[in-house]
Amino acid sequence: MDEQDRALAEERPEELAAAGLPPDRAASVAAAIRELFEEIGILLARDETGRPLWMPEGRAVHREALAGARRAIVNHEFSLAEVLRRHGWRLAGDRLAYMGRWVTPPAAQRRFDTLFFMADMTGAVEPEPRPEDGEVALGEWIAPKDALAEEKAGRVRLMRPTRAWLEQLASCGSAAEAWSRFSRPGARREEVFETDTPEILRSVLEAQGVWMVPVPSPTLPPASDTNVYLVANSGEAVFVDAGHGGPEGIAMLRAAWVRARSPRVRAVILTHGHTDHAGSAAELAAAFQCPIWSHPSGYALLGNGIIGRHGRPEIERRALADGETIDVGRVQLQVFYTPGHAPDHLCLFIPSAGILFSGDNVVGVGSTWVGPPDGDMAVYLQSLERMAALPARILAPGHGPLSAEPSRRIRELIEHRLAREAQIMELLQQGPHTVAALAGEIYGPAAPPGVMEVARRTVLGHLIKLEREGRVRRLAGGADLFAPADR
Protein backbone atom coordinates (compact mmCIF):
# COMPACT_ATOMS: atom_id res chain seq x y z
CA MET A 1 0.00 0.00 0.00
CA ASP A 2 1.41 3.35 -1.07
CA GLU A 3 0.82 6.84 0.27
CA GLN A 4 -1.13 7.60 -2.92
CA ASP A 5 -3.59 4.83 -1.97
CA ARG A 6 -4.26 6.47 1.38
CA ALA A 7 -4.73 9.85 -0.32
CA LEU A 8 -7.13 8.31 -2.83
CA ALA A 9 -9.15 6.75 -0.01
CA GLU A 10 -9.57 10.19 1.57
CA GLU A 11 -10.49 11.79 -1.74
CA ARG A 12 -12.95 9.16 -3.04
CA PRO A 13 -14.21 6.99 -0.16
CA GLU A 14 -17.60 6.46 -1.80
CA GLU A 15 -15.91 4.84 -4.84
CA LEU A 16 -13.94 2.37 -2.70
CA ALA A 17 -16.74 0.66 -0.80
CA ALA A 18 -15.87 -3.00 -1.38
CA ALA A 19 -18.36 -5.57 -0.17
CA GLY A 20 -17.65 -6.72 3.36
CA LEU A 21 -14.76 -4.38 4.10
CA PRO A 22 -14.93 -1.74 6.85
CA PRO A 23 -14.81 1.84 5.51
CA ASP A 24 -11.56 2.54 7.36
CA ARG A 25 -9.78 0.03 5.07
CA ALA A 26 -10.66 1.86 1.85
CA ALA A 27 -6.95 2.48 1.14
CA SER A 28 -6.54 -1.29 0.72
CA VAL A 29 -9.24 -1.23 -2.00
CA ALA A 30 -7.40 1.60 -3.73
CA ALA A 31 -4.18 -0.40 -3.60
CA ALA A 32 -5.90 -3.49 -5.03
CA ILE A 33 -7.35 -1.52 -7.95
CA ARG A 34 -4.05 0.23 -8.67
CA GLU A 35 -2.01 -2.99 -8.54
CA LEU A 36 -4.49 -4.74 -10.82
CA PHE A 37 -4.15 -1.94 -13.36
CA GLU A 38 -0.36 -1.73 -13.15
CA GLU A 39 0.26 -5.47 -13.37
CA ILE A 40 -2.32 -6.78 -15.86
CA GLY A 41 -3.80 -3.63 -17.40
CA ILE A 42 -7.37 -4.01 -16.11
CA LEU A 43 -8.79 -0.89 -14.46
CA LEU A 44 -11.86 -1.26 -12.28
CA ALA A 45 -13.35 2.15 -13.10
CA ARG A 46 -16.20 3.67 -15.08
CA ASP A 47 -16.15 6.60 -17.47
CA GLU A 48 -18.45 9.65 -17.31
CA THR A 49 -21.29 7.70 -18.91
CA GLY A 50 -20.95 4.80 -16.46
CA ARG A 51 -19.32 2.56 -19.05
CA PRO A 52 -17.10 -0.12 -17.34
CA LEU A 53 -13.48 0.19 -18.45
CA TRP A 54 -12.78 -3.45 -17.66
CA MET A 55 -15.33 -4.62 -20.23
CA PRO A 56 -14.65 -4.86 -24.01
CA GLU A 57 -16.86 -1.89 -24.87
CA GLY A 58 -15.13 0.41 -22.40
CA ARG A 59 -11.70 -0.81 -23.44
CA ALA A 60 -12.52 -0.19 -27.12
CA VAL A 61 -13.60 3.41 -26.48
CA HIS A 62 -10.68 4.31 -24.15
CA ARG A 63 -7.92 2.00 -25.40
CA GLU A 64 -5.30 4.71 -26.00
CA ALA A 65 -6.18 6.60 -22.82
CA LEU A 66 -5.96 3.43 -20.73
CA ALA A 67 -2.60 2.45 -22.22
CA GLY A 68 -1.20 5.92 -21.63
CA ALA A 69 -2.56 6.07 -18.11
CA ARG A 70 -1.01 2.72 -17.26
CA ARG A 71 2.40 3.78 -18.58
CA ALA A 72 2.22 7.04 -16.64
CA ILE A 73 1.37 5.27 -13.37
CA VAL A 74 4.00 2.54 -13.80
CA ASN A 75 6.65 5.14 -14.64
CA HIS A 76 5.58 7.29 -11.66
CA GLU A 77 4.68 10.21 -13.92
CA PHE A 78 1.15 10.47 -12.51
CA SER A 79 -0.70 8.94 -9.60
CA LEU A 80 -3.92 7.01 -10.13
CA ALA A 81 -5.82 9.92 -8.58
CA GLU A 82 -4.36 12.32 -11.16
CA VAL A 83 -5.27 9.93 -14.00
CA LEU A 84 -8.86 9.67 -12.74
CA ARG A 85 -9.24 13.45 -12.50
CA ARG A 86 -7.76 13.98 -15.96
CA HIS A 87 -10.18 11.58 -17.65
CA GLY A 88 -13.20 12.00 -15.43
CA TRP A 89 -13.21 8.30 -14.47
CA ARG A 90 -14.68 6.92 -11.25
CA LEU A 91 -13.37 3.88 -9.41
CA ALA A 92 -15.55 0.78 -9.16
CA GLY A 93 -14.78 -0.54 -5.70
CA ASP A 94 -18.21 -2.14 -5.69
CA ARG A 95 -16.86 -4.77 -8.10
CA LEU A 96 -14.59 -6.08 -5.32
CA ALA A 97 -15.60 -8.33 -2.44
CA TYR A 98 -13.40 -8.74 0.62
CA MET A 99 -12.34 -12.40 1.03
CA GLY A 100 -10.12 -12.21 4.09
CA ARG A 101 -6.74 -11.36 5.55
CA TRP A 102 -3.52 -13.35 5.72
CA VAL A 103 -0.51 -12.48 7.90
CA THR A 104 2.60 -14.55 7.19
CA PRO A 105 4.66 -16.00 10.09
CA PRO A 106 7.45 -14.19 11.95
CA ALA A 107 10.11 -16.50 10.49
CA ALA A 108 9.28 -15.60 6.89
CA GLN A 109 12.09 -13.84 5.05
CA ARG A 110 9.66 -11.05 4.17
CA ARG A 111 6.46 -10.76 6.17
CA PHE A 112 3.19 -9.76 4.55
CA ASP A 113 -0.06 -8.53 6.05
CA THR A 114 -2.35 -8.82 3.04
CA LEU A 115 -6.04 -8.30 2.37
CA PHE A 116 -7.47 -10.48 -0.39
CA PHE A 117 -10.30 -9.48 -2.71
CA MET A 118 -12.19 -11.11 -5.51
CA ALA A 119 -13.56 -9.21 -8.48
CA ASP A 120 -16.53 -10.09 -10.62
CA MET A 121 -14.86 -10.06 -14.05
CA THR A 122 -17.49 -11.96 -15.99
CA GLY A 123 -17.08 -11.04 -19.65
CA ALA A 124 -14.08 -8.83 -18.95
CA VAL A 125 -11.18 -8.12 -21.31
CA GLU A 126 -8.08 -10.31 -21.40
CA PRO A 127 -5.27 -9.44 -18.98
CA GLU A 128 -2.20 -7.80 -20.50
CA PRO A 129 0.81 -8.33 -18.22
CA ARG A 130 4.05 -6.44 -18.76
CA PRO A 131 6.92 -8.95 -18.28
CA GLU A 132 9.42 -6.10 -18.46
CA ASP A 133 8.10 -4.82 -15.12
CA GLY A 134 9.29 -8.02 -13.44
CA GLU A 135 6.14 -8.62 -11.39
CA VAL A 136 3.86 -10.60 -13.70
CA ALA A 137 5.22 -12.78 -16.50
CA LEU A 138 1.95 -14.36 -17.65
CA GLY A 139 -1.71 -13.46 -17.36
CA GLU A 140 -4.62 -15.68 -18.33
CA TRP A 141 -8.07 -16.61 -17.11
CA ILE A 142 -7.96 -20.01 -15.43
CA ALA A 143 -10.47 -21.91 -13.33
CA PRO A 144 -9.40 -22.32 -9.67
CA LYS A 145 -9.54 -26.11 -9.88
CA ASP A 146 -7.29 -26.02 -12.95
CA ALA A 147 -4.75 -23.81 -11.15
CA LEU A 148 -4.70 -26.25 -8.23
CA ALA A 149 -4.25 -29.16 -10.66
CA GLU A 150 -1.31 -27.35 -12.27
CA GLU A 151 0.36 -27.05 -8.87
CA LYS A 152 -0.29 -30.69 -8.02
CA ALA A 153 1.34 -31.67 -11.30
CA GLY A 154 4.39 -29.56 -10.38
CA ARG A 155 3.98 -27.10 -13.26
CA VAL A 156 3.34 -24.04 -11.09
CA ARG A 157 4.11 -23.01 -7.52
CA LEU A 158 1.46 -21.44 -5.33
CA MET A 159 2.03 -19.57 -2.11
CA ARG A 160 0.05 -20.80 0.89
CA PRO A 161 -2.46 -17.90 0.89
CA THR A 162 -3.04 -18.19 -2.85
CA ARG A 163 -3.61 -21.92 -2.58
CA ALA A 164 -6.02 -21.48 0.33
CA TRP A 165 -8.16 -18.91 -1.49
CA LEU A 166 -8.16 -20.95 -4.70
CA GLU A 167 -9.39 -23.96 -2.73
CA GLN A 168 -12.27 -21.88 -1.40
CA LEU A 169 -13.11 -20.61 -4.88
CA ALA A 170 -12.85 -24.11 -6.34
CA SER A 171 -15.53 -25.26 -3.91
CA CYS A 172 -17.98 -22.87 -5.60
CA GLY A 173 -19.89 -24.11 -8.59
CA SER A 174 -19.59 -20.91 -10.62
CA ALA A 175 -18.21 -17.38 -10.63
CA ALA A 176 -21.66 -16.12 -9.68
CA GLU A 177 -21.76 -18.46 -6.68
CA ALA A 178 -18.28 -17.35 -5.59
CA TRP A 179 -19.29 -13.68 -5.88
CA SER A 180 -22.44 -14.30 -3.88
CA ARG A 181 -20.50 -16.15 -1.22
CA PHE A 182 -18.15 -13.26 -0.49
CA SER A 183 -20.33 -10.25 -1.30
CA ARG A 184 -23.49 -11.09 0.63
CA PRO A 185 -24.07 -9.47 4.04
CA GLY A 186 -22.69 -11.53 6.90
CA ALA A 187 -20.41 -13.59 4.65
CA ARG A 188 -17.76 -15.59 6.53
CA ARG A 189 -14.32 -14.14 5.92
CA GLU A 190 -11.19 -15.74 7.31
CA GLU A 191 -8.39 -13.80 8.94
CA VAL A 192 -5.31 -16.01 9.20
CA PHE A 193 -2.38 -15.15 11.45
CA GLU A 194 0.30 -17.75 10.79
CA THR A 195 2.61 -18.89 13.56
CA ASP A 196 5.96 -20.63 13.30
CA THR A 197 4.73 -24.22 13.42
CA PRO A 198 6.95 -26.87 11.77
CA GLU A 199 4.44 -27.28 8.94
CA ILE A 200 4.35 -23.55 8.22
CA LEU A 201 8.14 -23.32 8.46
CA ARG A 202 8.42 -26.05 5.85
CA SER A 203 6.29 -23.93 3.51
CA VAL A 204 8.44 -20.90 4.34
CA LEU A 205 11.52 -22.87 3.30
CA GLU A 206 9.93 -23.93 0.03
CA ALA A 207 9.00 -20.33 -0.74
CA GLN A 208 12.74 -19.59 -0.47
CA GLY A 209 13.77 -22.50 -2.66
CA VAL A 210 14.57 -25.07 0.04
CA TRP A 211 12.79 -28.43 0.09
CA MET A 212 12.98 -30.60 3.21
CA VAL A 213 12.63 -34.35 2.57
CA PRO A 214 12.55 -36.65 5.64
CA VAL A 215 14.05 -39.88 4.29
CA PRO A 216 13.48 -43.06 6.35
CA SER A 217 16.97 -44.08 7.50
CA PRO A 218 18.55 -46.34 10.13
CA THR A 219 19.14 -43.80 12.87
CA LEU A 220 18.63 -43.52 16.62
CA PRO A 221 15.35 -43.00 18.51
CA PRO A 222 13.37 -40.83 18.73
CA ALA A 223 14.28 -40.11 15.11
CA SER A 224 13.34 -42.51 12.32
CA ASP A 225 14.15 -40.22 9.39
CA THR A 226 17.09 -38.16 8.21
CA ASN A 227 16.21 -34.74 6.85
CA VAL A 228 17.70 -34.24 3.41
CA TYR A 229 17.43 -30.74 1.93
CA LEU A 230 17.35 -29.58 -1.67
CA VAL A 231 18.48 -25.99 -2.09
CA ALA A 232 17.48 -24.63 -5.51
CA ASN A 233 17.80 -21.24 -7.15
CA SER A 234 17.93 -19.97 -10.74
CA GLY A 235 18.18 -23.42 -12.31
CA GLU A 236 20.88 -24.77 -9.98
CA ALA A 237 20.67 -26.91 -6.84
CA VAL A 238 22.56 -28.85 -4.20
CA PHE A 239 21.46 -31.61 -1.88
CA VAL A 240 22.41 -31.26 1.79
CA ASP A 241 23.00 -34.84 2.99
CA ALA A 242 21.68 -37.96 1.31
CA GLY A 243 20.06 -40.09 4.01
CA HIS A 244 20.19 -43.87 3.79
CA GLY A 245 16.81 -44.78 2.39
CA GLY A 246 17.78 -46.96 -0.55
CA PRO A 247 15.90 -46.72 -3.88
CA GLU A 248 12.76 -45.45 -2.11
CA GLY A 249 14.74 -42.60 -0.55
CA ILE A 250 16.28 -41.66 -3.90
CA ALA A 251 12.77 -41.62 -5.41
CA MET A 252 11.57 -39.25 -2.67
CA LEU A 253 14.45 -36.89 -3.38
CA ARG A 254 13.84 -37.06 -7.11
CA ALA A 255 10.19 -36.10 -6.51
CA ALA A 256 11.33 -33.02 -4.56
CA TRP A 257 13.74 -32.17 -7.38
CA VAL A 258 10.85 -32.33 -9.88
CA ARG A 259 8.77 -30.02 -7.67
CA ALA A 260 11.72 -27.62 -7.75
CA ARG A 261 11.46 -27.68 -11.56
CA SER A 262 14.36 -30.07 -12.18
CA PRO A 263 17.36 -27.78 -11.62
CA ARG A 264 20.91 -28.84 -12.45
CA VAL A 265 22.32 -30.45 -9.30
CA ARG A 266 25.83 -29.20 -8.62
CA ALA A 267 26.68 -31.52 -5.75
CA VAL A 268 25.63 -33.65 -2.81
CA ILE A 269 27.02 -31.84 0.25
CA LEU A 270 27.46 -33.97 3.36
CA THR A 271 27.26 -32.49 6.83
CA HIS A 272 29.21 -35.55 8.03
CA GLY A 273 29.92 -39.13 7.10
CA HIS A 274 27.68 -41.04 9.51
CA THR A 275 25.72 -43.67 7.61
CA ASP A 276 22.25 -42.25 8.29
CA HIS A 277 23.36 -39.02 6.55
CA ALA A 278 25.78 -40.33 3.92
CA GLY A 279 24.69 -43.93 3.31
CA SER A 280 23.00 -43.13 -0.01
CA ALA A 281 25.47 -40.44 -1.06
CA ALA A 282 27.04 -42.46 -3.88
CA GLU A 283 23.67 -43.52 -5.29
CA LEU A 284 22.26 -40.00 -5.07
CA ALA A 285 25.34 -38.50 -6.74
CA ALA A 286 25.18 -41.12 -9.48
CA ALA A 287 21.47 -40.51 -10.02
CA PHE A 288 22.09 -36.80 -10.63
CA GLN A 289 25.58 -37.16 -12.15
CA CYS A 290 27.16 -34.80 -9.67
CA PRO A 291 30.10 -34.89 -7.22
CA ILE A 292 30.07 -35.32 -3.45
CA TRP A 293 31.43 -32.46 -1.37
CA SER A 294 32.43 -32.92 2.27
CA HIS A 295 35.03 -31.99 4.84
CA PRO A 296 38.36 -33.66 4.02
CA SER A 297 38.58 -35.37 7.41
CA GLY A 298 35.61 -37.47 6.35
CA TYR A 299 37.36 -38.88 3.30
CA ALA A 300 38.54 -42.04 5.04
CA LEU A 301 35.00 -42.96 6.06
CA LEU A 302 33.59 -41.99 2.69
CA GLY A 303 36.27 -43.85 0.80
CA ASN A 304 36.10 -47.03 2.83
CA GLY A 305 32.47 -47.19 3.79
CA ILE A 306 30.17 -45.00 1.75
CA ILE A 307 31.73 -44.62 -1.67
CA GLY A 308 34.50 -47.16 -1.89
CA ARG A 309 32.52 -50.36 -1.43
CA HIS A 310 32.65 -52.90 -4.22
CA GLY A 311 29.93 -52.24 -6.74
CA ARG A 312 29.46 -48.60 -5.79
CA PRO A 313 29.85 -46.11 -8.66
CA GLU A 314 33.00 -44.03 -8.87
CA ILE A 315 32.08 -40.55 -7.70
CA GLU A 316 34.06 -37.34 -7.95
CA ARG A 317 34.75 -35.79 -4.54
CA ARG A 318 35.81 -32.35 -3.40
CA ALA A 319 36.93 -31.11 -0.02
CA LEU A 320 35.11 -28.16 1.53
CA ALA A 321 36.95 -25.67 3.72
CA ASP A 322 35.76 -23.68 6.69
CA GLY A 323 34.59 -20.25 5.56
CA GLU A 324 34.07 -21.30 1.93
CA THR A 325 31.11 -19.88 0.03
CA ILE A 326 29.10 -22.02 -2.38
CA ASP A 327 27.03 -20.37 -5.09
CA VAL A 328 23.70 -21.98 -5.95
CA GLY A 329 22.22 -19.76 -8.60
CA ARG A 330 21.96 -16.37 -6.91
CA VAL A 331 21.95 -17.87 -3.42
CA GLN A 332 25.11 -18.32 -1.37
CA LEU A 333 25.76 -21.03 1.21
CA GLN A 334 28.48 -20.45 3.77
CA VAL A 335 30.43 -23.45 5.05
CA PHE A 336 31.25 -23.74 8.76
CA TYR A 337 33.47 -26.47 10.17
CA THR A 338 31.69 -27.53 13.36
CA PRO A 339 33.26 -30.73 14.71
CA GLY A 340 32.27 -32.35 17.99
CA HIS A 341 29.52 -34.79 17.15
CA ALA A 342 31.76 -36.04 14.35
CA PRO A 343 35.29 -34.98 13.37
CA ASP A 344 34.18 -34.05 9.83
CA HIS A 345 31.00 -32.20 10.76
CA LEU A 346 29.96 -29.19 8.69
CA CYS A 347 27.07 -26.78 9.01
CA LEU A 348 25.78 -24.69 6.13
CA PHE A 349 24.22 -21.24 6.39
CA ILE A 350 22.24 -19.16 3.89
CA PRO A 351 22.80 -15.61 5.16
CA SER A 352 20.26 -13.99 2.82
CA ALA A 353 17.47 -16.17 4.23
CA GLY A 354 18.87 -16.88 7.70
CA ILE A 355 18.60 -20.66 7.24
CA LEU A 356 21.03 -22.80 9.23
CA PHE A 357 21.51 -26.45 8.24
CA SER A 358 22.72 -27.90 11.52
CA GLY A 359 23.26 -31.58 10.61
CA ASP A 360 23.48 -33.62 13.79
CA ASN A 361 24.97 -30.87 15.94
CA VAL A 362 21.45 -29.62 16.68
CA VAL A 363 18.48 -31.92 16.15
CA GLY A 364 14.83 -30.97 16.27
CA VAL A 365 13.88 -33.09 19.30
CA GLY A 366 16.12 -34.14 22.18
CA SER A 367 19.89 -33.99 21.97
CA THR A 368 22.55 -35.63 19.85
CA TRP A 369 25.08 -38.09 21.22
CA VAL A 370 28.68 -36.91 21.58
CA GLY A 371 31.37 -39.34 22.61
CA PRO A 372 34.02 -41.84 21.51
CA PRO A 373 35.08 -42.85 18.98
CA ASP A 374 34.05 -39.86 16.85
CA GLY A 375 32.86 -37.24 19.31
CA ASP A 376 34.60 -34.63 21.41
CA MET A 377 32.42 -32.87 24.00
CA ALA A 378 34.64 -29.81 24.49
CA VAL A 379 34.93 -29.24 20.75
CA TYR A 380 31.18 -29.83 20.36
CA LEU A 381 30.35 -27.09 22.86
CA GLN A 382 32.70 -24.73 21.04
CA SER A 383 30.91 -25.52 17.77
CA LEU A 384 27.54 -24.84 19.38
CA GLU A 385 28.76 -21.44 20.56
CA ARG A 386 29.90 -20.64 17.06
CA MET A 387 26.53 -21.69 15.62
CA ALA A 388 24.61 -19.67 18.22
CA ALA A 389 26.43 -16.52 17.08
CA LEU A 390 25.06 -16.79 13.53
CA PRO A 391 22.07 -14.55 12.68
CA ALA A 392 19.90 -17.55 11.87
CA ARG A 393 16.11 -17.30 11.66
CA ILE A 394 15.24 -20.91 10.80
CA LEU A 395 17.03 -24.00 12.06
CA ALA A 396 17.01 -26.89 9.57
CA PRO A 397 18.19 -29.92 11.59
CA GLY A 398 19.38 -33.31 10.39
CA HIS A 399 16.55 -34.98 12.32
CA GLY A 400 13.21 -33.74 13.61
CA PRO A 401 11.15 -30.61 13.02
CA LEU A 402 12.28 -27.19 11.89
CA SER A 403 12.64 -24.42 14.48
CA ALA A 404 12.07 -20.67 14.22
CA GLU A 405 14.26 -20.02 17.26
CA PRO A 406 17.72 -21.28 16.33
CA SER A 407 19.65 -19.35 18.96
CA ARG A 408 17.28 -20.39 21.76
CA ARG A 409 17.41 -24.03 20.65
CA ILE A 410 21.21 -24.03 20.52
CA ARG A 411 21.42 -22.36 23.94
CA GLU A 412 19.10 -25.05 25.30
CA LEU A 413 21.54 -27.73 24.16
CA ILE A 414 24.52 -25.90 25.63
CA GLU A 415 22.71 -25.58 28.95
CA HIS A 416 21.61 -29.21 28.75
CA ARG A 417 25.20 -30.38 28.31
CA LEU A 418 26.47 -28.21 31.15
CA ALA A 419 23.64 -29.44 33.38
CA ARG A 420 24.53 -33.05 32.50
CA GLU A 421 28.13 -32.27 33.39
CA ALA A 422 27.06 -30.90 36.78
CA GLN A 423 24.91 -34.01 37.34
CA ILE A 424 27.90 -36.26 36.68
CA MET A 425 30.05 -34.29 39.10
CA GLU A 426 27.34 -34.49 41.75
CA LEU A 427 27.14 -38.28 41.41
CA LEU A 428 30.93 -38.61 41.58
CA GLN A 429 30.95 -36.58 44.79
CA GLN A 430 28.92 -39.43 46.30
CA GLY A 431 31.65 -41.93 45.41
CA PRO A 432 33.53 -43.44 42.45
CA HIS A 433 31.37 -44.55 39.52
CA THR A 434 31.88 -46.51 36.36
CA VAL A 435 30.62 -45.14 33.07
CA ALA A 436 27.86 -47.74 33.02
CA ALA A 437 26.80 -46.90 36.58
CA LEU A 438 26.64 -43.18 35.78
CA ALA A 439 24.62 -43.81 32.63
CA GLY A 440 22.24 -46.07 34.53
CA GLU A 441 21.58 -43.48 37.24
CA ILE A 442 21.21 -40.61 34.77
CA TYR A 443 19.05 -42.28 32.11
CA GLY A 444 17.28 -44.92 34.21
CA PRO A 445 16.24 -48.46 33.40
CA ALA A 446 13.55 -47.38 30.90
CA ALA A 447 16.07 -46.43 28.20
CA PRO A 448 16.10 -48.91 25.28
CA PRO A 449 19.31 -51.00 24.91
CA GLY A 450 20.41 -49.24 21.72
CA VAL A 451 19.94 -45.84 23.30
CA MET A 452 21.74 -46.97 26.45
CA GLU A 453 24.89 -47.73 24.52
CA VAL A 454 24.87 -44.23 23.04
CA ALA A 455 24.12 -42.82 26.51
CA ARG A 456 27.23 -44.55 27.89
CA ARG A 457 29.32 -43.06 25.09
CA THR A 458 27.94 -39.60 25.79
CA VAL A 459 28.67 -39.94 29.53
CA LEU A 460 32.20 -41.04 28.63
CA GLY A 461 32.48 -38.00 26.35
CA HIS A 462 31.63 -35.76 29.33
CA LEU A 463 34.13 -37.60 31.54
CA ILE A 464 36.94 -37.26 28.99
CA LYS A 465 36.27 -33.52 28.83
CA LEU A 466 36.24 -33.24 32.63
CA GLU A 467 39.44 -35.31 32.86
CA ARG A 468 41.23 -32.99 30.41
CA GLU A 469 40.09 -30.03 32.49
CA GLY A 470 41.53 -31.63 35.64
CA ARG A 471 38.16 -32.00 37.35
CA VAL A 472 37.94 -35.81 37.42
CA ARG A 473 40.45 -38.67 37.39
CA ARG A 474 40.48 -42.34 36.57
CA LEU A 475 41.17 -44.56 39.51
CA ALA A 476 44.09 -46.96 39.39
CA GLY A 477 43.13 -50.44 38.38
CA GLY A 478 39.91 -49.34 36.73
CA ALA A 479 40.15 -47.58 33.37
CA ASP A 480 36.38 -47.22 33.50
CA LEU A 481 36.18 -46.01 37.13
CA PHE A 482 36.10 -42.26 37.78
CA ALA A 483 36.22 -40.00 40.81
CA PRO A 484 36.60 -36.24 41.45
CA ALA A 485 40.19 -35.09 40.90
CA ASP A 486 40.47 -33.83 44.47
CA ARG A 487 39.54 -37.19 46.03
Q: How confident is the model at residue 1 (pLDDT cuts 50, 70, 90)?
A: confident
* 180 and 44 belong to one structural domain: yes
Last residue of a domain, one of 193, 221, 250: 193
Q: How confident is the model at residue 134 (pLDDT cuts 50, 70, 90)?
A: low
Residue 353 domain flag: yes
Res. 306: pLDDT tops 60: no
Q: Would you say the pTM of this structure is higher than 0.85? A: no
Res. 269: pLDDT tops 70: yes
Last residue of a domain, one of 136, 166, 193: 193
* 73 and 147 belong to one structural domain: yes
Residue 419 domain flag: no
Range with lowest mean pLDDT among 117-126, 238-247, 301-310: 301-310
Residue 417 domain flag: no
pLDDT of residue 240: 98
Mean pLDDT, the chain, whole residue set: 91
* 165 and 266 belong to one structural domain: no
* 178 and 209 belong to one structural domain: no
* 211 and 162 belong to one structural domain: no
* 229 and 141 belong to one structural domain: no
* 116 and 153 belong to one structural domain: yes
CATH number of the structural domain spanning residue 17: 3.90.79.10
* 305 and 406 belong to one structural domain: yes
Burial class of residue 127, CB neighbours in 10 A (0-12, 13-18, 19+) = middle
pLDDT of residue 110: 80
CB 250 within 8 A of CB 280: yes
pLDDT of residue 186: 84
Which structural domain, as residue segments, surrounds residue 358? 198-412
pLDDT of residue 299: 62
Residue pLDDT, tens place only, 35-50: 999 999 999 999 999 9
Q: Mean pLDDT across the stretch 174-188?
A: 89
Split into its structural domains, the chain has a count of 3
Q: How confident is the model at residue 356 (pLDDT cuts 50, 70, 90)?
A: very high
pLDDT of residue 304: 47
Res. 308: pLDDT tops 50: no
Residue pLDDT, tens place only, 204-250: 999 899 999 999 998 877 778 999 999 999 999 999 999 999 999 99
* 360 and 458 belong to one structural domain: no
pLDDT of residue 151: 87
Residue 90 domain flag: yes
Q: Mean pLDDT across the stretch 110-125?
A: 89
pLDDT of residue 313: 58
* 455 and 395 belong to one structural domain: no
* 291 and 386 belong to one structural domain: yes
Q: How confident is the model at residue 133 (pLDDT cuts 50, 70, 90)?
A: low
Residue 361 domain flag: yes
pLDDT of residue 312: 56
Q: Mean pLDDT across the stretch 154-169?
A: 88
Last residue of a domain, one of 379, 412, 445: 412
pLDDT of residue 43: 96
CATH number of the structural domain spanning residue 284: 3.60.15.10
Residue pLDDT, tens place only, 21-35: 888 889 999 999 999
Q: Mean pLDDT across the stretch 339-349?
A: 97
Range with lowest mean pLDDT among 12-16, 131-135, 457-461: 131-135
Residue pLDDT, tens place only, 71-89: 999 999 999 999 999 999 9
* 179 and 202 belong to one structural domain: no
